[in-house]
Amino acid sequence: MDTRSNPGLGELLRYVGELVEHGAEEHYRAMRLDYRARYTPVLRALHAGACTVTDITARTHLTQGAISQTVALLEGDGLVARHAVDDGRKSGIRLTAAGRALVAKLERHWTATFAAIAGLEDEIGHPLRRALEAAAEALEREGFAARVTAAKTRLKKEHAHAD
């Protein structure tokens, strides 16, 4: 295997992510929205019933740090507001009137986005989202670092047997 010229998994994932994000941002501009693509998972989670950073993290599979940063940006833009919840250790997050109005504008766009994903999956002949979900589940069971360590051990043994 020529590892020098083949892109790695991380490179391909980042590149595909960039292509998707740039396409989405083009549509946000066309919709005349001052909007960041990173807002989408948080807004979708809140719209679906999440009400804390922990809830959003569980729904999106993004890190708590990334969610907290995005919530702070959304709060600064007046799209979400924090409020006290029964558990004093956490604060609740809710869409403001401006946030609800924005979500209403974005719902058709999100429906079209998922239709575009389905079209992409049909074109490439692979259930891309399902494959990525399966990859995430496998990596949750055994992390990538452990997998690289195991591969190094196998390669070392193979090399030792070849000598």
Q: 102-154, pLDDT tens digit by residue?
A: 999 999 999 999 999 999 999 999 999 999 999 999 999 999 999 999 999 99
| Mean pLDDT, the chain, whole residue set | 92
Q: What pTM does this model have?
A: 0.80
CA distances from 106 to 15, 110, 111 (A): 24, 6, 9
Distance, CA of 87 to CA of 89 (rounded, Å): 5
Angle of CA points 30, 36, 40, to nearest 5°:
100
- Please say whether the beta carbons of 57 and 43 come within 8 A: no
Reduce the DSSP state of residue 92 to 3 states and report it: strand
- Tally: H helices and E strands in the chain: 7, 2
